[in-house]
Amino acid sequence: MRNHRLLALISLCLALLWLSACATGESTTSRTFQTKQPDKVALVDISGDIRGDAPKNQVEDFFTAEMLKKGYRVIERSRVNKVLAEQDFQHSDRTTAAGAAAIGKVLNVPGVFMLDVNVDGEKLSITGKIIDTETAEILWVGTGRGGSGSTVGTIGGAILGAVAGSAVGDGSGRTAAMIGGGVLGGAAGDALTPQTARVAQRAVQEMVKELPPAQ
């Protein structure tokens, strides 16, 4: 019986997290995009106030998945990092169109992507740019933004943590596990919370929705 209740609580919590995430987006394509048509791209930088490899990797994975759906070939991040280290590119080189284009030439790709991710409380915004490797011209700019109810996210994280905590121990130990699990579920770890990750995923989807597919 307890297992059924745990599963019901988890299902309810996940449903709340899913429904609470919403996002919008738009993009602008330059007139030279169709003649350039970069079918192979590399993500050279994720800037903004997002910190740590874990959340950056999550955003990159969402972005890569959407680009693959559009038919683009995406250079693996480990190869990009290797080139950046070998060529001694500084962080400042990755944040300008000219610097990103130079990195793209070394990677031998026609276009490079730059992402800027910012989180403000329960709101998240992502801006992406495609830079032409040969000319450093901006071929495409897209923006995605989203938000969710902080109350739902906090309660959802606490429920998930408490459910996990309640599955171990009994008596006072079980109570402590529930409290500890609730706190951990709500705010622990460097990775994006499930709710914020869902918002980020939807923001990326909206950002690239009107990006022309690779030819």
Report pLDDT for 89.
Answer: 86
Q: Is there a contact between 114 and 142 (Cβ–Cβ < 8 Å)?
A: no
Domain segments of the chain as ranges? 2-208
Comparing 73-87, 107-121, 145-159, 170-184, the range with the smallest average pLDDT is 170-184
- In order of 45, 80, 185, the CA distances from 92 in angstroms are 10, 16, 36
Comparing 20-29, 48-57, 133-142, 149-158, the range with the smallest average pLDDT is 149-158
Comparing 54-58, 75-79, 180-184, 193-197, the range with the smallest average pLDDT is 180-184
The amino acid sitting at 134 is E
Look up the CATH architecture of domain 2-208: 3-Layer(aba) Sandwich (3.40)
Residue written as token pair 């993009």? 27
Mean pLDDT of 58-70: 96
Comparing 9-23, 28-42, 138-152, 166-180, the range with the smallest average pLDDT is 166-180
